[in-house]
Chain A
């Protein structure tokens, strides 16, 4: 008796544990969505403000409507196609039917990423422009198997003779289908529709691969938002998404049941009406509402547009609005995280971007691969505002200044804590000084680390000489015992926190750290360093080249350059723009605006080719593992 009881309790605990593990993450998310504090670690009281600000965010609301419209339309289309397919498969002979069912099941089991990529490749091969319609087609495609899966069993349950009976009574095949067969399989069709709707709502990977610029569903929107850092609105949005999926699952699992025996009683029917019909009606209303909303939003839109592909958080949204207002050209805006993600998209020609903002070495690579269009300087008169120094610097990757307009730049240098070093620092040698053992922070990336070692010896940071690289490698191995840590982003925090005396850092970060800790000083060593430049270019397959040039010209305007400088805080090469900076300290900052003297020995990175790239990596591994 007692044993039985403990057995029972043990079972309950086990079940509870499983449920807890399954739902704890989502529970956390839901709790955080009501947390008044932005911090993830602190409970700041209960609030619904994230939900409110969520619904005030235009971009998210747009994504929501796109999601709903795609889910709705693709589910409808998949339901029609899938139901028709089921009927066809059902009437096949058993062998053919088994084969067909197998074939239709495979896409469901297939990894989403494979489906996504193959759809993208197909669209590109068919010269489809990726966008709303390709997402829709992709969703219809992956939804069809789910509809078949839920309609087939219903079809198998139906008595084939009822269809024949209808024919026998004089019905045409079509009439017989809709009057007799369809009501029988309706529960399967409805649950197939709901399943397709849910799947479409849920999908991220396939959408990610088949979407074009400016179109976002909720999931891709959340993804791109999260990349920039998670805003609490995202918790709210995810919570709502989760709730919707739960609701749909409940609907799917309850709708197919037919009351066993009933008599036709109109009043009873009316009483039953709301429960099951309110939700679809609400859904349709929502979508129609969304459509109208879209319309209203779209009325101001003209046909002129420019498709911009830029780094995340690399342009003041207000500048875009201003551009649209002034020129009447619509900006379709899309973001990427790294040059390496951007490059294949341009290479594939899947999307006709008009303006892109790659880094120096990537521009070189794009020029080499004949991917860029020459800029018509007549359309970019504001180029005169750009500091000629940077036009010269650009020549290292764009030798004739034909393809690129510098947008942002920065240097790599040494950040040091004045209270922790004896004298002002001006050389990379300090990173090899025994006196600062365990007080040195190095960048944990191949090219940046080698740039330090190569420059210290007076070599080019784009060196391909084996001798030079071997010496640099040996130097880095020698330096290793002195280094406290190889890091990337933490340089900032560690230096602010006085945890190290010297660190290799990007100039953009240096300005920020200096503001936080006044003891910090930034210097570009006299041997020279890396200067990076991100520039606007126009891909060869741009469809709105003149609009692209207008956009670039707009960004070269001094007031706009200032706006973006204040938004991004990275150095601007725009001389006239810099003059508008009110804060004298910043305007004259040598960190933000190094002089020609500072940059004398600086170089931009170049793409060295795949072979040299892997040689660098090999050497870097040697350093790291020594």
Chain B
């Protein structure tokens, strides 16, 4: 029936279950976030995989090296490659979260769309889960997904006699698992923190500033506390925490455990709990009216 002939009709048929509604939040959040320059920046960030792939092909495959007449290649140990890779990815991950995260909730707070969203059969947790998934699509793509792809690239490109293949089950896979875990933690913390900053203010520009200020502020406070009070003070800055964790990738292989990772993991737990707690508190249904 043409639309102009329909006055009003009731909805018939089955309604979709809860998880699909959460995915709707994810889908429409990504559509809303993706304005021109944000999309371009994010695409550029994700395009790095192509660059890494090319470098690996050149450095890892002797035939390619021979063809390109590359004679001097520093053969870095795999843990060092992973460590450097994760640290670079962490920066990209933070930039991604800082570009996309603040745009996820702030605009909905600004024009008070949350009361009508909450009037749908989706709870606060469902809404937050949908937003988290949306940010994970972007942040996860440059963190744990990249580490996994790196593993696949190494597995397919490195020659069979390489240490990677000869110690695949004893060293390479456990190492990769640890690296994946660090990358997953990084994307988790950064996503939750990005969303918490977005929920803190109605203006996404302020959210960007809050994100940078808190992240650098925590690192600064952590450094000062370690220098002024005691060097045994736990790291609370995300950069230091991830430095500690990624260092372990190298040190564990060498049998050296210079700093326990318990403090670093605890700090990450605090970041996650504080971000999630603030997010859920800030988005209480009765508070989203902005009265």
**Genuine A/B complex:** no
Interface residues of A (CB under 8 A from B): none
